[in-house]
Copies of this chain bind each other. A is one copy, B any other.
């Protein structure tokens, strides 16, 4: 199988250019001394998540006459908004297929980027997208199972290696594994001494299981849907799982309470809004058994339900010193 290369990622970095924010690494003063921590805050991207990188590379790489016929995506989450936004910056039409159970706020956000939104029953999602492609000649932009998407997400790894060449541990959220596929490819090329560790919710820990067994996991959609980390409910494709097997050093999981704890800490001590899917890496930093050393936690996004966020801020468990001390020992 043809895997993404560092050359693909270098080309993606040049291609995505100013459509993407060059996020800085944010040092965390609250980190443990033997494990200094930096955040890679991808929630600061225009649509609030890293997905804009893959979308910008995949759409940017289309020949202009193909791109002009428009792009299509089926997703209700950050990928939908990323495709809609990038299409708008290119002045080409975008059609996003969402399901009847998609929250109105996400539909509105996607429409807000100028996309046409098709609302269909869940079972008809893929066929509806295929019909749009067949009818208009548009191009389907998949959320993770595509080399151009993987290369786009990999630009995060390039930036980490450029900003912190002696990084020792890189923590990356894992869902369909497009993000970690790109980041790990870049890190192993540019900072090969660093360990790349994938993080999943325990309740959607299918890739962690597959990493141990060597077999691509096969958890049911219902099982993976149990976590509050709604961006981490996908499962790797053959392409992304091959990247995980080749480039990822370890996989760890975190509990739902640990994810909430990390969201509170990130808001109050690092002044960023993290969605559950984006906070899993900080949760792992606090609670998983990880190697010591200079650590970067990729925060993948910040589109959290305000009510959940308020509830977490109100409970404030993360400010209890005893809790914090235990956490910072990395137990």
Decide if A5 is an interface residue (CB 8 Å cutoff): no
Q: How many copies of this chain?
A: 2
- Write out the residue numbers on chain B whose beta carbons fall within 8 Å of the beta carbon of A306: 264, 267-268, 313-314, 316, 319
Q: Which residue of B lies closest to A19 (CB)?
A: B27
A302 x B271 contact (CB < 8 A): yes
Binds B, one of A40-48, A60-68, A186-194, A206-214: A40-48
Decide if A21 is an interface residue (CB 8 Å cutoff): yes
- Write out the residue numbers on chain B whose beta carbons fall within 8 Å of the beta carbon of A273: 267-268, 271-273
Decide if A215 is an interface residue (CB 8 Å cutoff): no
- A298-331 CB contact bits vs B (8 Å, 1 = yes)? 0001110011011101101001000000000000
- Write out the residue numbers on chain B whose beta carbons fall within 8 Å of the beta carbon of A44: 24, 26, 41, 270-272
- Write out the residue numbers on chain B whose beta carbons fall within 8 Å of the beta carbon of A22: 24
A313 x B302 contact (CB < 8 A): no
B29 x A47 contact (CB < 8 A): yes
Given A267-B273, A268-B306, A306-B313, also A46-B24 (CB < 8 A): no
Decide if A75 is an interface residue (CB 8 Å cutoff): no
The complex places the Cα of A269 from the Cα of B108 at a distance, in Å, of 13
- Write out the residue numbers on chain B whose beta carbons fall within 8 Å of the beta carbon of A307: 313-314
The complex places the Cα of A26 from the Cα of B41 at a distance, in Å, of 12
B29 x A21 contact (CB < 8 A): no
Q: Which residue of B lies closest to A30 (CB)?
A: B112
Decide if A85 is an interface residue (CB 8 Å cutoff): yes
Question: Closest Cβ of chain B: how far from A193's Cβ, in Å?
Answer: 21
Given A24-B44, A310-B313, also A85-B29 (CB < 8 A): yes
A24 x B23 contact (CB < 8 A): yes
Question: Closest Cβ of chain B: how far from A158's Cβ, in Å?
Answer: 16
Sample of 13 further A-B pairs with CB below 8 A, known A268-B273, A306-B319, A309-B313: A21-B26, A21-B27, A22-B24, A23-B24, A29-B85, A29-B112, A44-B272, A105-B319, A264-B306, A268-B306, A271-B303, A273-B273, A306-B316
CB-CB nearest 7 A-B residue pairs: A271-B302, A310-B313, A43-B271, A310-B310, A271-B273, A306-B313, A310-B314
Some 24 contacts from A to B, beta carbons below 8 A apart, are A22-B24, A23-B24, A24-B44, A26-B44, A27-B46, A29-B46, A44-B270, A48-B269, A105-B319, A267-B273, A267-B306, A268-B273, A271-B272, A271-B273, A271-B301, A271-B302, A271-B303, A272-B273, A273-B273, A307-B313, A309-B310, A310-B311, A310-B314, A313-B313
